Structure 1
């Protein structure tokens, strides 16, 4: 069931936040054998250093992202791993600004207001679920 007021378009991806990108990247790529989503420059790391890689399996995306970059995107101080985000649930919406207003009206805890992320090619906003899971709304054109 989709929520028309929220403008939910689709499930975006599961994003695993990592501190040491290279070993995680090699694990998902080489050990698990997950295929990279895109094989074009700019969409995959130029090296094992990241900060981002997206794998796709059966049309679902699993991304690796350096925690320091995610912390910067939401304006949070980069903290030791203990007790911090390990996964970001990413939901694609038609209009990030409208979706944030809908969930704000519903009592959501907004941690980062809508902002353009040119390096990512999208507009994003972040909120937290009741137990602290980071949720990202993203808006981008196909």
Structure 2
């Protein structure tokens, strides 16, 4: 079995298409404004796709359920970058609005920052912290898995 792609089900298709292409800078490989489906090359052969939520609901028989509900996030898209500060500056310059500041997460072993796409999907950009900055409990767990 092989993961083919991650497909986000969206209500704001055109806004999300623009966000992933223009704001985050991903190369669009399929789709156009006003369409139902689009895909992006997000590096290393991975594909991120957008699909109109109402069409998937129709396909799987959930059209009668609420489209949006305010709940805690069910998932986050995580992108590892080489230079977190530069990535944030580039995205902000292109109109992206972050919901957190860059922060060392020593108990996770990363530096991280978060934003949302126009449909509210949570996106995290990370870089790995050097191990000497890791929380002691994380170091102990890491050693246990080696």
**Structure-2-length-normalised TM-score:** 0.43
When Rg is computed on C-alpha atoms for both structures, the one with the higher figure is 2
Structure with higher helix content: 2
Higher relative contact order (CA 8 A, sep 6+): 1
